[in-house]
Amino acid sequence: MKVHFQVGNDNGNSEHDLFVDGKMIRQPNVCCRVDKLPWSDELPPESFIRNLQDQLIVTIDSPAARPGMYYIGKFALMSGELLENLQIGIDNKADMDLPIINTLAQVAAVAVQRAYDEAKGVTTEPIEVTVDMATALPVTQHTDESAAKFEAKFMEGTHRVTVHLNKVRVPVNIVFDYVKAIPEATPVVFALQKDREGAWRSGDIFAEFVEAYDLGQKFNGAYFKDKRVLHTDIGDGSTEYPITEGNKFLRQFVHGSHHGAGYAIEEALDDFNKLVYLPDSPRQFFSDVIKNAQHKYHNRAIQTLRRPLEGQARHIVQNIRKQLTKARNEIDVICVYGGGSVLMKPILQPMLIELCEEREIKLLYIPAEHAVTMNAEGLDAFVRGKIFEALKSKGAKQPV
């Protein structure tokens, strides 16, 4: 069986968000290397298909990463095994195995699900997958050299992945036709303007913005096609502050800082562990507790976070001020998103409203249900768009 996928791939410090041929996948961005399969009972392979992403085990044989068997994402996080993750402020994504391993695993999982749907059952015949992919590196790490290095890891050679459905092994061979790595946050201009069908975007994502500035019921993404936008993409380990004008990334304003929700979480983690009588717990577990308002430890997690979050928010506002000064305040909209923006909103939004009123700039604070996936949505739009098609046809290596 042969399939071709278009992939928009956002390897975040905490979460891995990607679109594989239009299928949205969200998983903790962790894995762990193991020696054997965990299942001893005879579960039918078909029972794994529907929720494969949540119980994903693969064996990787790739020229770009260490060979071995891996638990991926949520399954790794819940396994109790020693986790591999991206250490905030330390690891360079272009040099790490983790983004390669988790990307290959998720692409292979979707290929297995596609083969199951088409064959009306589990097949052990090799699945041949070709991929066009848009991905991103943090602004602070993105150079022509690092981008080319990251792209080459995917594009050079065939990646052989075995997906384990209990005792049944499904081989998947993945070849990347073309990969483009662009600076994080910049693809969001595509997601702000157009929806997945290619029409001007509208709806709840803009509701608060439209009401705040009385922009009218017919407001849509066409508004941003010629606007200067200062992005504030708040992640776990970094915040990016690129400036775009329409679809154009303004390279003279590249800026990022090592501030984000992850630093606040790491600062609060010891206090949290003491409150819940744990000697230790990974950052991703704390993140999951924070996201889940129903979790029994949620209130205690939020309690330990407030003071560290205030510190991070003040650093972020300071960096936004620097970018505004460099741009002579010639900014139409400050757009805030990313996983960290959700946690910081009660603290950060009032600070930014005051700043925007002072500088005569509009504030678009992306709502929680869209904030985390904006980069993935933008990368998905980019990989399906005309710019990517043109770059691929030229085999271009120059930055977008």
Structure tokens at 46: 């078909």
Using CA atoms, how far residue 268 sits from 169, 233, 290, in Å, is 42, 22, 12
Q: What is the pLDDT of residue 280?
A: 78
Structure tokens at 304: 């330990």
Using CA atoms, how far residue 120 sits from 112, 116, 215, 386, in Å, is 12, 6, 50, 35
Burial class (CB in 10 A: 0-12, 13-18, 19+), 250: middle
Token pair 């060979």 in the structure block, residue: 67
Q: What is the pLDDT of residue 399?
A: 45
Residue 353's nearest CA partner among 369, 334, 370, 339 is 334
Please tell me the distance from the alpha carbon of residue 76 to that of residue 74, in angstroms, as a whole number: 5
Q: What is the pLDDT of residue 262?
A: 81
Which helix (H) or strand (E) covers residue 309, if one does?
A: helix 298-326
* Sheet hosting strand 15-20, strand order edge to edge: 23-28, 15-20, 2-11, 127-137, 168-183, 159-165, 57-62, 65-72, 31-34
> Quick one: the chain helix, strand, coil %, rounded to 5?
45, 25, 30
Q: Is CATH 3.30.420.40 the classification given to domain 2-183?
A: yes
Query: How far is C-alpha 293 from the chain's CA centre?
Result: 22
Tell me if 251 sits within 8 A of 399, measured CB to CB: yes
Q: How many residues does the chain have?
A: 400
Q: What is the pLDDT of residue 90?
A: 62
Tell me if 324 sits within 8 A of 358, measured CB to CB: no
Please tell me the distance from the alpha carbon of residue 188 to that of residue 184, in angstroms, as a whole number: 9
Q: Is CATH 3.30.70.1900 the classification given to domain 188-264+270-375?
A: no
Q: What is the pLDDT of residue 5?
A: 97
Helical H runs in the chain? 46-49, 73-77, 98-119, 144-155, 188-193, 207-213, 261-275, 283-291, 298-326, 339-359, 368-371, 374-383, 386-394
Which helix (H) or strand (E) covers residue 364, if one does?
A: strand 362-365
Q: What is the pLDDT of residue 265?
A: 85
Q: Could you count the other beta carbons within 10 Å of the beta carbon of residue 61?
A: 15
Residue 233's nearest CA partner among 183, 284, 304, 181 is 183
Domain spans, the chain: 2-183, 188-264+270-375
Q: What is the pLDDT of residue 58?
A: 97
Shared fold status for 2-183 and 188-264+270-375? yes
Q: Splitting the chain (400 residues) into consecutive groups of 10 residues, what average pLDDT does each group show?
A: 96 90 93 88 86 96 96 93 76 89 98 94 94 90 91 96 94 97 87 88 95 94 95 87 88 85 86 81 79 86 89 96 96 95 94 97 96 93 90 67
Q: What is the pLDDT of residue 263?
A: 86
Please tell me the distance from the alpha carbon of residue 162 to that of residue 153, in angstroms, as a whole number: 19
Tell me if 224 sits within 8 A of 248, measured CB to CB: no
Entry pTM: 0.85
Q: Could you count the other beta carbons within 10 Å of the beta carbon of residue 169?
A: 14
Q: What is the 3-state secondary structure (H, E, C) of 203-224?
A: CHHHHHHHHHHCCCCCCCHHHH
Residue 164's nearest CA partner among 173, 174, 172 is 172
Q: What is the pLDDT of residue 398?
A: 45
Tell me if 378 sits within 8 A of 196, measured CB to CB: no
Convert the pLDDT of each residue in 255-313 to its tens digit: 888 888 888 888 888 888 888 787 777 767 888 888 888 989 888 888 898 899 999 99
Q: What is the residue-averaged pLDDT of the chain?
A: 91
